[in-house]
Chain A
Amino acid sequence: MDNNISGEPNIKVVKNATCTFCGCVCDDMELTVDLDQKRITKAKNACVLGKAWFFEHSVDESRPLARIDGKEVSLDDAIEEAAQILVNARFPIIYGMSNSTSEAQRETVKMADLLSANIDSTSSVCHGPTGMGLQGVGEPTTTLGEVKNRADMIVYWGCNPSDCHPRLSTHFTVMPKGMYIPNGRKDRTVINVDVRATATSQLSDLFIQTKPGSDFELLWALRILTRGGRLNSTIEEQTGVTIAVIEDLANRLRSCNYGILFFGMGLSMTRGRHYNTSALHMLATDLNEHTHFVVKPARGHGNVTGADTVLSWQTGYPFGINFNRGYPRHEPGEFTTTDILTRGEADAACIIASDPIANFAKPAIDHLKKIPVISFDPKPTPTSEMARVAFTTSCYGINTPGTVYRMDDIPIPLRPAFESPFPSDQEILIPLIKRIRELKSVSSAAA
């Protein structure tokens, strides 16, 4: 019971709470919660993004629990409408899931299987090409704990954690003292490779600026040097980096004790995509002939790693999966959401905790606006506002317990701060799946 009749502030402190805003999934938060106001008033240890995440997710009880075409309806009516849309669609797609618990993700896969639908996470427009790359060449992987305790060489390639994952450097990689890194920052070398100088470049010992779209060439040049070859002078024109700088970088990478290559959308969203990420993984493999080197993508959403993990253990594939033959098939480019929408194939969409209207390519958005959309989101977004059926959900990690996966594939439990009057994704999915099953059995019997 959260009701307070004493007149005293009804305050609770939650220790070791987990922030689910970004892929760092920091689990050392100390939250002070005003249970009467249903809001978090202090978030000790949180970064600027974490503070915004905790402070801005109070409960707005004036929001309808569910809407159809913008009009408030009961949860049951919304579930019925969503079930009818999905069962009657010829090519339903399910997308999102990266801001939800792994328990809800598991239910979503069940729903996709039942509907013979297409299922895809936000990975396909994030580190999907990374998954494609590592499937081909393997992944020299690690955990953030190992990085904290051992890494004396941190490379940030095509990523800017200072803006996107502020505690990656301060809590896990650059600043902390570790078992074999007794002096913390002083014992580590930090290198940033990017097309622009960022706040991450400023905390680095060395910033190497590349021409846009030349990452593959620079990575391959480093592979050549790591394997004892020599560079052609054309590499300078191709990458904008001098041979002397490339040779110096290769020497630094070879001569460290334990190195890690963190990378981001600068590789996966640019020309080359999975070839870039493959090259990065192969460079790490090559460097293991000289020293110990590992790779880790800097993941964005709080449980995008969980989406990859759950989809992989349930279907065998991490994203871009289609069940329309009764078994899962994976084909990036064919079963990835941007492509399906751009080709105008889908005739219904269920969007779980995601906002494709705000970040997809325009042709994909144009098609999404033509078909019935079902949206699950704790906040109003461009997607929830245009959805045929919109569910207001509780916020995972703040209101909803469960499990999320950190960017290094470590599962982390959630310790919610306060209860929400809104249901979780999972609490809507379970009755929705039940109703879909009923409708499917009626249509099978009629056939």
Chain B
Amino acid sequence: MTETMLLVPMRTAKQGVALNAGKLKDAYIQETSTVEFKQEDMDRLGLKTGDRVRLRAGTQEVVVSCKPRKIKIQDTALGIIFMPYGPTTSKLMVDGDTAGTGMPDSKHLMVEIEGPLAQEESDGQ
């Protein structure tokens, strides 16, 4: 199933801890390659925790794991996904335009989501 959603890159404490251990280590790579959905969006797309999904922006695409957001208070943000900043979100930031500010539109990336991917399709990435 394919759907277009808004990807908002963000920071997490886990990412902050992992980058101190090292950006080339598994913990950092894993944390910055896991996308968070609202549970309702995961259910609608038929996704389970740990499933692999393809995110596509322009000519670029990445394959990442997915998990539900842990939300303890009311949150209405359907159709928005979140992923910690890192090499993966950078790859999806296909537009270097900064509107004359120096700052790309880093927190507003429209991506096409395809998934869940079959194991062999996911391994090919």
Contacts and interface: CB of A to CB of B under 8 A. Distances in A.
Which residue, of B8, B97, B101, B105, has the highest number of chain A Cβ atoms within 10 A?
Answer: B101
B24 A382 contact: yes
B94 A362 contact: yes
Contact of A361 (B16, B71, B86, B96): B96
- B contacts with A: majority SS: loop
A273 B103 contact: yes
B99 A273 contact: yes
Contact of B103 (A52, A55, A124, A341): A124
Listed from nearest, the 3 A-B pairs whose CB atoms lie closest are A336-B102, A342-B96, A333-B100
Interface string A102-129: 0000000000000000001000110011
Interface stretch (A134-142, A196-204, A218-226): A196-204
Given A163-B13, A274-B101, A360 B108 contact: no
Interface stretch (A4-12, A264-272, A282-290, A435-443): A264-272
A358 B101 contact: no
Contacts of B106: 125, 265, 269, 361
A48 B99 CA distance: 36
A320 B98 CA distance: 13
B80 A196 contact: yes
B102 A319 contact: yes
A125 B85 CA distance: 12
Contacts of B107: 212, 265-266, 269-270
Interface string B65-87: 00001011111110010100111
21 contacts: A48-B16, A48-B17, A56-B22, A125-B102, A163-B13, A164-B11, A164-B13, A195-B77, A195-B80, A196-B82, A197-B75, A212-B108, A265-B107, A269-B106, A269-B107, A274-B101, A320-B102, A333-B98, A338-B104, A361-B104, A382-B23
A363 interface: yes
Nearest to B108: A270
Given A197-B71, A270-B107, A380-B22, A359 B90 contact: yes
B75 A273 contact: no
Interface of B: 6, 8, 10-13, 16-17, 20-24, 60, 69, 71-77, 80, 82, 85-87, 89-108
B90 A363 contact: no
B77 A196 contact: yes
A127 to B, nearest CB: 9
Nearest to B97: A342
Question: Could you say which interface size class chain A belongs to?
Answer: 35 or more
A332 interface: yes
A223 to B, nearest CB: 22
Interface string A148-190: 0000000000001011101000000000000000000000000
Interface string A351-379: 00001011111111100000000000001
Contacts of A382: 23-24, 87
A362 B93 contact: yes
A57 B91 CA distance: 28
B101 A332 contact: yes
A209 B104 CA distance: 23
A201 B73 contact: yes
A352 B77 CA distance: 38
B16 A339 contact: no
Given A209-B76, A213-B108, A363 B102 contact: no
A361 B93 contact: yes
Nearest to A158: B107
B37 to A, nearest CB: 12
A361 B24 contact: no
Given A163-B12, A357-B87, 14 more contacts: A52-B21, A55-B20, A129-B102, A212-B6, A212-B8, A268-B103, A269-B106, A269-B107, A274-B101, A333-B99, A361-B96, A361-B106, A381-B23, A385-B24
Interface string A208-237: 010011000000000000000000000000
A21 interface: yes
A270 B65 CA distance: 25
B8 A196 contact: yes
A49 interface: yes
Given A49-B13, A163-B13, A338 B108 contact: no
A100 interface: no
A336 B21 contact: no
Contacts of B76: 209, 240
Contacts of A52: 16-17, 20-21
A381 B105 contact: no
Contacts of A55: 20
A336 B104 CA distance: 11
Given A266-B107, A339-B96, A364-B96, A195 B102 contact: no
A207 interface: yes
A68 interface: no
Contact of B20 (A57, A129, A338, A380): A57
Contacts of B91: 362
